[in-house]
Structure 1
Amino acid sequence: MEESGSPAAGQPRSLAEAVYTDIDGTVTAYNTIFEFLRFDAGKSRSAEAEEFLAGLRASARNGVPRAVTNARYFSWWQGRSVAEVQELGERWADVQAASPADWAFLEPVAGLLDGHAAAGRRLVAVTASFEPALVHVRRRWPHLELLCTLPLTAGGSYTGEIGEALVAEAKAKAVLAHAAEHSVDLAASFAYGDHSSDLQFMALAGQSLLVTPTLGPVVPAVAG
């Protein structure tokens, strides 16, 4: 007896459509992990936070790869309780919700994601950020799946290290693995990003859009 809703024996399972999107600069008008770190620092550690972030920006200007600077970012959280940082993310999301103009979502991608969600497509964030910094984003799109950087933990606390920074080629590998696991038809799917390092994963989708928030709405679509 066949399970209700499952394909008949010998029939191919229908493929899903998905939307793979970068977050910082594509969906949000701010850098989620930098601003989350500032929220954590508050007034008491503000100078320390700015010095730390300035060091990461200086490294990037000097040609240090994004994967390396992303890994360095997570040293800020070394020794912190995972549960504590997750609760901090919830509190930050409450602050963001109270001042939506200060924590804006970017068009056209935010509106496009709303449309995709209404159409029943899988929404998948592909980002170098991490889960506690993305609570506000997930509150708007509750079914958003995360392909993000995963900090390493030990005894319920962050070690300050990561498994792999989700940038450039790592994003493309993550999208391919997700599509294979969830039977996603990449040719019928969509991808959004705002940086040249996003182009590798964007090229996997049938339709993709590279946006440039600082210059205006949209740069011509990248071939899928």
Structure 2
Amino acid sequence: MEESSRGPGQTAYTDIDGTVTAYNTIFEFLRFDATEHARGNEAEEFLAGLRTAAANGIPRSVTNARYFRWWKSRSVTEVAELGERWADLQDQQAAAWDFLEPVTSLLDAHVDSGRQLVAVTASFEPALVRVRRRWPQLALICTRPLVAAGEYTGEIEEALVGEAKKRAVLAHASGNNVDLAGSFAYGDHHSDLPFMALAGESLLVEAARGVSAAPVS
């Protein structure tokens, strides 16, 4: 049957950091890169600067964009290979790289029910290799760094935070014949609420704040 002839499908949209993973994928990926290149002190200073900016009220969209300056002038291929090596290390030390409940089990249940899984995250693809190994069918809506001559420029298309996540989910749903009212959404931060509000069932983990739990059948 052609995709266009099918009825609207149900999808589970999920944030990643703090929702699916017990760690921040982009921060820890940066640390892994720094370890390989003996730049540990520089990395901690860089990350501390991002945390300080956030504590001083700088919007998440701005700090997320600043994060990608770390990768300026780095080969896209090199960083992709780095992501594979980091995922290999995580697989070898799985106990140190936990996936979080209840969302992990909910995503597994969605897979069993034939629903599509879509990550909606401010992270980027090389930092998400292990997550995609865990759920091979996972589609990614993530931050897209700008590239020139095969290297990252240090800039991004758009920080995938807040309303940007909502716009991305709406575009995905429109382009993939998704029944949003029959779909599910998961997040862990108030900035996730705009995209979560599009789904018929949603769960804001670690903070109930009026968002309904998502039963899976």
- Provide the rounded CA distance (Å) in 2 between the counterparts of 1:193 and 1:6: 32
Give 1:127-142 correspondences, 5 Å limit: 127-142=121-136
Alpha carbon RMSD of aligned pairs, Å?
1.6
Stretches of structure 1 lacking an aligned partner (at least 5 in a row): 213-217
Give 1:69-88 correspondences, 5 Å limit: 69-88=63-82
Q: Which residue of 2 aligns with 1:123?
A: 117
Larger Rg belongs to? 1
Q: Which residue of 2 aligns with 1:186?
A: 180
Q: Which residue of 2 aligns with 1:215?
A: none
Q: Which residue of 1 aligns with 2:27?
A: 34
Q: Which amino acid aligns with 1:70?
A: N
C-alpha contact (below 8 Å) 1:209/1:221 kept by paired residues: no
- Provide the rounded CA distance (Å) in 1 between the counterparts of 2:210 and 2:33: 37
Q: CA deviation at 1:130?
A: 0.1
Q: CA deviation at 1:182?
A: 0.1
> 2:191 aligned with 1:197, yes or no?
yes
Q: CA deviation at 1:219?
A: 2.4
> 2:211 aligned with 1:222, yes or no?
yes
Q: Which runs of 4+ in 1 moved over 6 A?
A: none
Deviations 1:87-107 (A, max 9, x none): 000000000000111000000
Q: Which amino acid aligns with 1:117?
A: V
Q: Which residue of 1 aligns with 2:7?
A: 14
C-alpha contact (below 8 Å) 1:130/1:148 kept by paired residues: yes
TM-score (norm 1): 0.91
> 2:204 aligned with 1:210, yes or no?
yes
Deviations 1:72-116 (A, max 9, x none): 000000000000000000000000000111000000000110110
Q: Determine helix, strand or coil for the equivalent of 1:152.
A: strand
Q: Which amino acid aligns with 2:58?
A: V
Q: Are residues 143 and 209 of structure 1, via their aligned partners in 2, closer, same or farther at CA, if it must alter by over 3 Å? A: same
TM-score (norm 2): 0.94
Stretches of structure 2 lacking an aligned partner (at least 5 in a row): none
Q: Are residues 221 and 124 of structure 1, via their aligned partners in 2, closer, same or farther at CA, if it must alter by over 3 Å? A: farther
C-alpha contact (below 8 Å) 1:207/1:221 kept by paired residues: no
Q: Pick one of 105, 108, 122 that aligns with 1:111.
A: 105
Q: Which residue of 2 aligns with 1:174?
A: 168
C-alpha contact (below 8 Å) 1:26/1:194 kept by paired residues: yes
C-alpha contact (below 8 Å) 1:89/1:135 kept by paired residues: yes
Q: Determine helix, strand or coil for the equivalent of 1:208.
A: strand
- Provide the rounded CA distance (Å) in 2 between the counterparts of 1:174 and 1:190: 15
Q: Determine helix, strand or coil for the equivalent of 1:219.
A: coil
- Provide the rounded CA distance (Å) in 2 between the counterparts of 1:209 and 1:129: 20
Q: Are residues 103 and 184 of structure 1, via their aligned partners in 2, closer, same or farther at CA, if it must alter by over 3 Å? A: same
Deviations 1:40-73 (A, max 9, x none): 0007110000000000000000000000000000
Q: CA deviation at 1:220?
A: 6.1
Deviations 1:103-136 (A, max 9, x none): 0000000011011011111100000000000000
Q: Pick one of 161, 174, 182 that aligns with 2:155.
A: 161
> 2:99 aligned with 1:89, yes or no?
no
